[in-house]
Amino acid sequence: MNQHFATHGASPDLKITRLDNGLTVVTEAMPGVATATLGVWVGAGSRHERVEEQGLSHLIEHMAFKGTRTRSARRIAEDIENVGGDINAATSAEGTSYTARVLGEDAGVALDVLGDILTESLFDAAELAREKSVILQEYAAIEDTPDDVVYEAFTEAAFPDQPMGRPIIGKPETINSFDRPMIEGYIAREYTPDRIVLAAAGAIGHEAIVEAAERHFGGLKPVRPPETVPAVYGGGERRMPKKLEQANLVLGLPGLSFRDPDYYALHMFAQVLGGGLTSRLWHEVRETRGLAYEIQSFHWSFYDCGLFGIGAGTSGGDLAELVDVTLAATRKAAEDADTVEVARAKAQLKVALLSALETPGGRIERNARQIMAWGRVIPPQEVIAKVDAVTVDDVRAAGKRLLTGAPTLAAIGPIKKLPTLARITATLHG
């Protein structure tokens, strides 16, 4: 018997049903919207892969569009585009999503295609060989792009020798090794109904979506997935000297899980430090000293960990000064972030949160991710209240907490003048 859940405090148009096998269906009707966006989120990504499976989640995402028992690869595209729609997919460390956007009257078509590619894909050997070749070209393109390479190296250094630190795309040796039994084994192990959320928003009806979900996914057997390997921040460095015009570097520290009480405060600290044209790093590094065309700070949060970083590109000759200025600005922000800066960071965060809910695509992503993380959809007013509750002292404390961690450094290009990690550590820790 399917379970229907109350959505206390959320939109009256938000409805949630859990199928008998554990799969969750969440819909949100949006009056006045003519289109429908639908998606299937699976709580399985690169951090759920074994060593020999590096890149398999990403390959499966690609292979989902390469043919099913009833549709060829071209037919999958035609069925969506013939009704004016589009279809896409994405892989991250903690999940994989498959989404489609169509007119509201064609929501059934989109669901039929999504259900087909997720439960009836053939993983044909010829298509698999072609797609592995495509992904290897994608891998080569990343290797030819220094600012992509440096971010992958940064993550690997921060989480050494563990799934969280591995590149989502995989390595050539693992990509070449994938075959149909490996794909089917991974799906059987990780694509379990209790890890799947089907979300829809826009011009849709809840009961019709639930009925389609039952038809396409109701036959999935509940299986207990293996425990996810905990992420353990390590810190360290990756220096990649290379003859390039510019040095690219990322300097980081252990961030916070989105479950941590200081999550919003650290997000605001990142905004104050390097989140926009009025941020401290932009003003000091770009506008005052002209050391970089662009510099930014960021905070990536996951279920059980986080990663804070500052990324920039500069000339080899300016590298040491850039690092020194960046370290000084980070330490100073933790000491004296002020009322105006924090108010601005709050406003920027609220605009980002609320503007994402203005489209069906933004709604389904919010709804699916929150159900997977929290088991419920958090009303916007509850999130805004948490943002508003953060004080200047909270932001400073989050910055000081950040600075107690071991740094991670990744750099590529003319990096001879890059300070040692020991010196960076001593400067950060005072």
CATH number of domain containing 44: 3.30.830.10
Asked whether residue 213 falls in the same domain as residue 243, the answer is: no
Is 223 domain-assigned? no
pLDDT band at 11 (very low <50, low <70, confident <90, very high): confident
For the sheet containing 408-413, what is the strand order?
Answer: 236-241, 408-413, 247-254, 306-314, 295-301
Asked whether residue 203 falls in the same domain as residue 242, the answer is: no
Structurally, the chain folds into a number of domains equal to 2
Q: Outline where 34-106 has alpha helix (H).
A: 56-63, 73-81
The residue-averaged pLDDT of 118-126 equals: 97
Mean pLDDT of the chain: 96
Residue span of the structural domain in which 400 resides: 236-429
- For the cut 90, the answer to whether the pLDDT of residue 12 exceeds it is no
- Count Cβ atoms below 10 Å from residue 404 Cβ, excluding itself: 10
Asked whether residue 242 falls in the same domain as residue 195, the answer is: no
Which pLDDT value is given to residue 10? 65
Question: What confidence tens digit (pLDDT) does each residue in 179-193 have?
Answer: 999 999 999 999 999
Is 368 domain-assigned? yes
Q: Retrieve residue 266's tokens.
A: 């650290």
Outline where DSSP puts E strands in 43-171.
86-91, 96-103
Asked whether residue 190 falls in the same domain as residue 244, the answer is: no
Structural element, H or E, at residue 358: none
Residue 144 amino acid letter: D
Is 228 domain-assigned? no
Which pLDDT value is given to residue 255? 98
Asked whether residue 154 falls in the same domain as residue 296, the answer is: no
pLDDT band at 430 (very low <50, low <70, confident <90, very high): confident
Is 21 domain-assigned? yes
pLDDT band at 264 (very low <50, low <70, confident <90, very high): very high
Question: What confidence tens digit (pLDDT) does each residue in 349-367 have?
Answer: 999 999 999 999 999 999 9
- For the cut 90, the answer to whether the pLDDT of residue 3 exceeds it is no
The pTM of this model reads: 0.94
* Whole-number Cα distances in Å, 282 to 91, 213, 275, 311: 31, 48, 8, 11
Asked whether residue 190 falls in the same domain as residue 309, the answer is: no
Catalytic residue among 28, 49, 53, 61: 61
- For the cut 70, the answer to whether the pLDDT of residue 295 exceeds it is yes
Which pLDDT value is given to residue 356? 94
Report the alpha-carbon distance of residue 41 to residue 22 in Å, rounded. Answer: 14
- For the cut 70, the answer to whether the pLDDT of residue 9 exceeds it is no
Q: Residues 266, 272: contact at Cβ < 8 Å?
A: no
Q: Retrieve residue 337's tokens.
A: 């972030």
Is 225 domain-assigned? no
Asked whether residue 66 falls in the same domain as residue 164, the answer is: yes
Is 401 domain-assigned? yes
Is 393 domain-assigned? yes
Final residue belonging to a domain, choices 187, 217, 247: 217
The residue-averaged pLDDT of 250-258 equals: 98
The residue-averaged pLDDT of 204-227 equals: 95
| 105 annotated active-site | no
